[in-house]
A and B are shown apart, each in its own frame.
Chain A
Amino acid sequence: MSNVTMTVNGKTVSGSVEGRTLLVEFIRNDLHLTGTHVGCDTSQCGACAVHVDGKLAKACTMFALEANGSEVSTIEGQANEDGSLNVIQQAFKDHHGLQCGFCTPGMVMAAADLLKTNSKPTELEIREHLEGNICRCTGYHNIVKAILAASGQDVSNIAAE
C-alpha cells in the first residue's frame, strides 16, 4: 500500500492505496464521491470522466498513484458556489440532455472540457468531441443541443418539431 495525496474539487485529500487501485476506485470508494461512474472496463464509455490538472481524463484508465499531487475535479465540484446548477448543468436540464443519468456526469465533464477551449463549437465539433462518451438513452440529440445552448448559441433550429 502506498500513500497518495491530491486535491479533489479544491480540497486536499489523501489515502492509502494499492498500486493497482484505479483513480476512479479511489474517488468512489475512498472519497465516496459516487457521481463518477464506471460503465465499462476498456476506457470506452466515458462515464468516469474527470478533469486531472485541467485536462479531461478517464478515471478508470489512471492509477490513483498517477494522480498523486494532481488537481482533480469531478462532477461534485461543478456546481455554482451556492450549490445551484452551473451553466452546462442547467442547459442539460433545460434541454432534456439526460434520461437515466448514468453517463451524465461524464458528459458534463466532457462538455466543460470542450467549452474551455472552444467557446462556440459547431454541432459537428460537439459530436466529434463526445467520441469518448457513450449515452444509450438520449440518442445524443438533446446532449448536443444542451452543449450548444450552454455556449450561448441559438438552438431553436435544432428543435425537434
Chain B
Amino acid sequence: MPKDSGIGAATRRREDARFLLGSGRYSDDIVLLNQTYAVFARSEVANGIIKTINTSEAEKMPGVIAVFTGDDFVDVGGNPAGWLINSRDGEPMKEPKRPVLAHGKVRHVGDAYAAVIAETEQQARDAAEKINADIMELPAIIDMTSALSGSNYVHDEIETNQCFDWGWIEDNREATDNAIKNAHHVTTLELTNNRLVPNAMEPRCSIADYNAANDDYTLYTTSQNPHLTRLLISAFVLGIPENKLTVVSPDVGGGFGSKIYHYGEEALVLAAAKRIKRPVRWTASRSESFMTDAHGRDHVTKIELALDKDNNFLAFRTETMANVGAYLSNFSTVTPTILHGTLMAGNYSVPNIYVNVKAVFTNTAPVDAYRGAGRPEATYSLERVIDKAALELNLDPIALRRQNFIKSDQFPYVTAAGLNYDVGDYDAIMDRLEHHADIKGFAERKKISEKQGKLRGFGVNSYIEACGIAPSNLIGTLGARVGLYDAATIRVNATGNISVMVGAHSHGQGHETAFPQIVADMLGVDPNNVEIVHGDTSKIPFGMGTYGSRSLAVCGSAIVRGIEKIIAKGKKIAAHMMESTEDNVDFEDGVFSVRGTNKTVSFGDVALKAYIPHNFPIEDIEPGLEETAFYDPQNFTYPAGAYACEVEVDPNTGKVSIERFAAADDFGNIINPMIVEGQVHGGLAQGIGQALLEGCVYNDDGQLISGSYMDYTMPRAADLPSFVVDHTVQTPSTDNPLGVKGCGEAGAIGSPPTVVNAVINALRSAGHDITHIDMPLTPARVWAAMNN
C-alpha cells in the first residue's frame, strides 16, 4: 500500500509553492546594492590570432567603470581538467591552458576575449561593441578526422589535435580482435552520436560581491556543485583562499550537466568586483548559452558485434572519435572514457570487450557531461548494433537480447569492461515492458496506421547505467583528481525540529521533499519538521554536488549515516535520563525506551536535554545534538531498464511521430515515486529530442548555425506523447544503506536507440532497405533515406 509519508510516499513537493507563486530565488533575481554589470566581447570567428585589442573607445563610453582583457589574467591559473586520462602508450593526455579570457588566440565562436563593467547592462553592452579587436582569422578546425590528420592545431603549443588515444581494457584488445576474427557472424555499424546543447531553461548567471574590509568574496552562481566551483576557483584559477570565498547556488533552473563546471565568467566577476570594489553581475543571454555552455555527446563511432552460430554475443569492439571542443572542460576527459567505455557490456554476458576513444580538439565550444554523460553514447552504440544484428540474422530483437542478458542468478557479475554489477533482473524488466508495450496489439495498430497512409514501426532497447560514480579510492587510480563522496550535517535543534545541511544541490530534483522523507522515517518525526539546506558553502559541509544521478545514493546515504550517529548519541542521553545504560536503550518511532521496562523518553525530550544540559554528564557526553557524516560509496549503483516505442512515419514527408512510449526501469528502492516518474519523463523527452529533433551544428567555418531556439529544435509539448512508466521491478542496490539507484539520467540514456530502432523498423516494413540513419531523424533525413 502506498504510504502517506516517509520512504515510499509520493509526497507532494514543498519547493513547488515558491516556484508557483513566483517567489523562487534564482541567481538573476538577486539584487545587490551598488551593483554593476559585466558584458563580454566574444569572438565572432572560430579560430584566430588576437593581434590587438583596443579598449580606449569603450572605456570612454557612458557608465563604463572598467574593461578587462586576457592581459589582466596572464598571471592567474587556468581552469583545469578534473580527470587525467592516459593514452594507450602510457602518455598523459594533452592539457592546454584554459584562461579566464582568451589570450593570444580565440578558439571558438563565443570565446570571450574582453569584458566591460558598467553601471547598467545596456551601457556595458553598448561599450562592449566599441571594443576594437584586430583578430586575424585562421582556417577553422571542425571536422574530427581532418583535425587528427591535419597540421593546423587548436593549441599550437601541443602540436596535435589529439588529446588522448585511450584503450579500455588494453589487455583485452588481442582477445577481442581474435574473437571477432574467428566469429560466426560480425555485425558492423558506423554511427554518429549527435552533438547537443544542454539548454537548462535558466541561463547561467554569476554575481560577485567583494568586501574590502574583510578581504572576502561571495559568489552567487548557477552551479550544480558550489563546493567544487569554490575549490576550482581557489586552488587553480584565482587563488582566493577557500575560507575567503563563499559560493552560493540558490534556486537553479535546471542543469543537466552544463552547470557542473566552473566557467571563466565566474572568475571574471570575482576579479572585477575586487578591482572596482562594487558587486559585479553577469547573466548569459540564450545566445551566449548556446555559444559557451559545455555541449554534450558528439561522438563518431564504429562498433562491431561478434556472435557465435547460436547467436551468443562473443565480443564488442568500438573505435570512437570524441569531440572535446576547444578547451578541456572540467569533466570532458572522463565522460567519453570511463563513463562510456566501462558501460560497453550493456546488460549482456559477453566475454570480450575493447573500446578505443580518441579525443579531439576542435574550434568548437567545449564538450562535457550532459544528462547521461558517456552512458547514452555507449547504450546507443550497443543497442543499435544489436538491432542491426537481429536484422541481419533474421532474429527477434527482444529474443536476441534476452538470450544474451546477464541472468538474475549471475549477480554479482564482473563484466569484461571492468564493472561489478551488484544486482539486477533484466528478464523481469523486459517482462514488464512487454506487458506495457502490448506487442500483440501492434499488428492491429499498424494496420490502422497504414490505412491512414502512415508507416508504423516498433523499437525496443535495454540499458544499464552506472550512477553515483565511486569509490574515491578506485576513481583515484583511474585518474580522478577529486573524491566523489558526499556529506550531510544533521542538526537537531533544541525544540526537536531538524535542519539537514547537504552537499548535494537540488535544481529540479526535489531534494527538499525527498531527503526529509528519509529523515522522518528514521527518526519517527513529521517530515514537515525537517528542513534541507543546500547550495551555500558557508552553511553546508563539503560535498560534491549533484550530477551523474548521485544525490540519493551518495548524499542520501550520508544522511543515513549522520542520523545513525544522532540516534547513537541520543541513546546515550536517553540512557542518562532514564538512569540506564546506552546498551539497554532502544529507539523506535521517535521514542527511546529501556529494554524490558516501561521507561521511555521522546526524541524531542532528548533534543531539549542536549541543549539544556542541566544535570548532564558533561565529562561523558558533549552538549548539543549535531552530527556530520561523509559517505564514500563502495561501488556505483546500476539502474537498468528496457524501453519500447511505436512510431508513425509519414512516407510523403519523412516526419516521425511517437505514438506510444513505455519505460520499465529498476531503480532499486524508491523514496518518492512521483519524483522518480518525473525524472524519467524528463529524461525521455531529452532522449527523444536527441533522436528526432536536436542537433548542434557548426559549419566548416566554425560558425554555430544552430545558435538559437529558432534553429535548434527543442522538444515541445506537441512533439511528445504521454509516457507509460513502470518501476515495479526493484532489486535494491547492495552498495548503499538505502538500497537505491540513480534515476535522473535513465530516460535520456535508454530512449534514443529505442526511437531509432522503431523508425528503422517502420521504414523496412515498407520495403526500404535501410539499416541506419544518423540522429536527429529529421523529416529531411528520413525522407532522403527513403528516396536515396
Contact = CB atoms under 8 A, between A and B. Distances in A.
B724 A160 contact: yes
B614 interface: no
Contact of A100 (B253, B285, B685): B253
A61 interface: no
Contacts of B254: 99-100, 102, 136-137
Interface stretch (B16-24, B181-189, B379-387, B623-631): B16-24
Contact of B716 (A37, A78, A131): A131
Contacts of B203: 38-39
| Interface of A: prevailing SS | loop
A144 interface: yes
Interface stretch (A51-59, A64-72, A86-94): A86-94
Contact of B674 (A96, A123, A127): A96
A47 interface: yes
Given A85-B17, A100-B507, A142 B22 contact: no
A102 B21 contact: no
A96 B709 contact: no
Most B CB atoms within 10 A — which of A38, A123, A140, A145?
A140
Interface stretch (B95-103, B194-202, B332-340): B194-202
A102 B708 contact: no
Contacts of B283: 38
Contacts of B20: 75, 85, 89, 92-93, 98, 101, 104-105, 108
Contacts of B29: 28, 34
A140 B12 contact: no
A101 B508 contact: yes
B547 to A, nearest CB: 14
B108 interface: no
B509 A99 contact: yes
Given A35-B23, A135-B201, A100 B677 contact: no
Contacts of B15: 101
B23 A144 contact: no
Contacts of B714: 44, 134, 136
A79 B21 contact: yes
Nearest to B685: A139
Given A136-B714, A139-B682, A139-B685, A37 B16 contact: no
Contact of A140 (B28, B509, B717): B717
Interface in B680-707: 681-686
B31 interface: yes
Interface in A11-36: 18, 20, 28, 32-36
A96 B723 CA distance: 14
B722 A42 contact: no
Given A79-B21, A96-B678, A136-B200, A45 B709 contact: yes
B584 interface: no
Most A CB atoms within 10 A — which of B201, B675, B715, B718?
B201
Nearest to A74: B22
A46 B442 CA distance: 37
A93 B12 contact: yes
A130 B681 CA distance: 17
Contacts of B200: 100, 102, 136
Contacts of A140: 681, 685, 715-717, 720
A19 B16 CA distance: 36
A81 interface: no
B681 A142 contact: yes
B22 A33 contact: yes
Nearest to B21: A79
Contact of A105 (B22, B717, B725): B22
Contact of B287 (A34, A41, A103, A128): A41
Contacts of A142: 678, 681
A42 B708 contact: yes
A75 B203 CA distance: 20
B510 interface: yes
Nearest to B31: A32
Given A34-B29, A105-B22, A40 B708 contact: yes
B716 A100 contact: no
Given A44-B710, A108-B20, A139 B723 contact: yes
Contacts of A33: 22
Interface in B476-503: none
B17 A96 contact: no
A45 B17 CA distance: 22
B413 interface: no
Interface in A130-156: 130-131, 133-145
A160 B679 CA distance: 12
A138 B685 CA distance: 8
Contacts of B16: 92-93, 98, 101
B388 to A, nearest CB: 28
A126 interface: yes
A139 to B, nearest CB: 3
B122 A99 contact: no
Contacts of A139: 681-686, 715, 720, 723, 747
A123 B682 CA distance: 18
B681 A138 contact: yes
A-B complex: 9 closest residue pairs judged by Cβ atoms: A35-B22, A101-B19, A102-B253, A139-B685, A100-B508, A44-B709, A75-B22, A99-B508, A139-B681
5 contacts: A39-B253, A100-B251, A101-B24, A130-B716, A131-B717
Given A39-B253, A128-B717, A135-B201, 17 more contacts: A34-B28, A35-B23, A38-B28, A93-B12, A93-B13, A98-B16, A100-B507, A131-B717, A135-B717, A137-B254, A138-B682, A139-B681, A139-B684, A140-B685, A140-B715, A141-B681, A141-B723
